[in-house]
A and B are shown apart, each in its own frame.
Chain A
Amino acid sequence: MRWLAVKPMDLLLWGAALAGLLALYACLWRPAAQAATLTVLLDNKPVKEVGLNQNQRFLVSGPLGDSELQIEGGKVRFLHSPCRNQVCVHHGWASHNGELLACLPNRIALVLSGDAESTHEAGHGEIDAINF
């Protein structure tokens, strides 16, 4: 029954597995991602992802300069923008899943995903898009 005893290769394998696990935890494990997240796209590429639960203001640098975004109470808006037409600022707050908010001149787009503010108004369940 010697071939059933623990052997050097086992120790090697198990050691490697445990080390691998530790490395994986270090690399991949982050606290459960917020259900509702905001992804900031610059020139169609994601540059930042933040939870909608943390009230904060931050700057995103586009070709025209810095756009200031504000997150508060699960909503997000363009607070200031270097663009001249200010369409993004006029749009105001966005909080619904699938809502689109963008500043074309500064090449910044915001995408809300996950469980962004429940769209269960009047008990209707999910909304696929918002018409405006």
Chain B
Amino acid sequence: MNWLWDPNARWILGGCMLLGLSSGVLGSFAFLRKRSLLGDALAHAALPGVCLAFIITGSRSLGGFLVGAALAGLVGAACIQVITRYSRVKEDAALGLVLSVFFGFGIVLLTLIQQSQKASQAGLDKLVFGQAAAMVSGDVQTMAICAGVVCLATFALFKEFKLLCFDPGFARGLGYPTALLDGLLMLLIVLAVVVGLQAVGVVLMAAMLITPAAAARLWTDRLDHMVVFAGLFGALSGAIGTGLSTMTLRMPTGPLIVLAATSVFAASLVAAPRKGLIARWVRLIRLRRQVAREHALRSLYELAESRSNWTATISVADLAASRGNAESGLRRVLGELGHEGLIRVEGGSISLTESGLNAAYQVARNHRLWEMFLMHEGQLGADHVDRDADVIEHLLPRSIVEELERLLVVHGRHPELPPSVHPLRSV
């Protein structure tokens, strides 16, 4: 970690973290407005603005670039709005159009500047991919101001932006100046883009707006948490990317920051609670296990019912035949049920214990209630009912079942239930 003692490296680290922070925060709003790719378009559109600023001011100052990029970005955003509003070209094509034409024009200007051979043009072409190593303390201070403005504005207008993201129609109804807020949001995105130009360049700037926000979205359903997460992920990616590029020679910082952000995203995609792949996989396994268990219980109940003997011993082969699956597939679920004391397994035969019979009765009752309901209320063919019921009974909460039962009684369609458990005690 020796590199951290180098003041220059610390400036770069600070700059990249600021970039990650501000673009993560704003990316959340762009993400929720379903305008993630707008950041991409605005980043590309900033190039001609930066070049024009250079041509006019003749110097490479971040302040001038900022104004140029902001103006070009706003013109680009306005073009997208006008194209989608006044012609039948859709938003995707409008984004691609503005992005490529502005960038192409930027390249034209860039080559014109290079051709005029001003000594100070060095570094301008680095804007396309960024060059974090070229950052100096003055740049980082400007970036810090921009990041501060972005965070403050987000904090101050949090409620307004929130409404704009989730229900723009309602926001308009409440009298919020939605067009103005939208424009302000775009201006802030342009600010974040300008902050990123130095470090990651226009091409990969989109990643800084999109990826941390997309990762944060996987962790939470609350906007305030999401903004904080996205900011943290962005800053973390900036730190990791800068660290890696300083430690390994010749690796460009920008792409490494982007790849760090992608890694954070990939990790979130796998490990995030509830929305992560692992969490969903666990849920799926649990659901499958529950389904298998309830199927087995209901089959045992029905087999016992058909033999009019609630304590009958049923062979595993019979159970498997009634479910239509192999005996080997039943072994695990039978083991579980036996472990819970719901069934007794002796050799190849099974019998329900009293608590098992109770549980099996509940499952079978649920199933038949639903079956009846579908037949009478759902207007479904009777031959379709069982298949539907097999799936839905496991998802049916108790309160709804009770309500269903009540409704069926009211309509005089209460189904014939199998004998309750109580007479069994006397058997």
**A-B interaction:** no
- Chain B interface residues (CB < 8 Å from chain A): none
- Chain A interface residues (CB < 8 Å from chain B): none
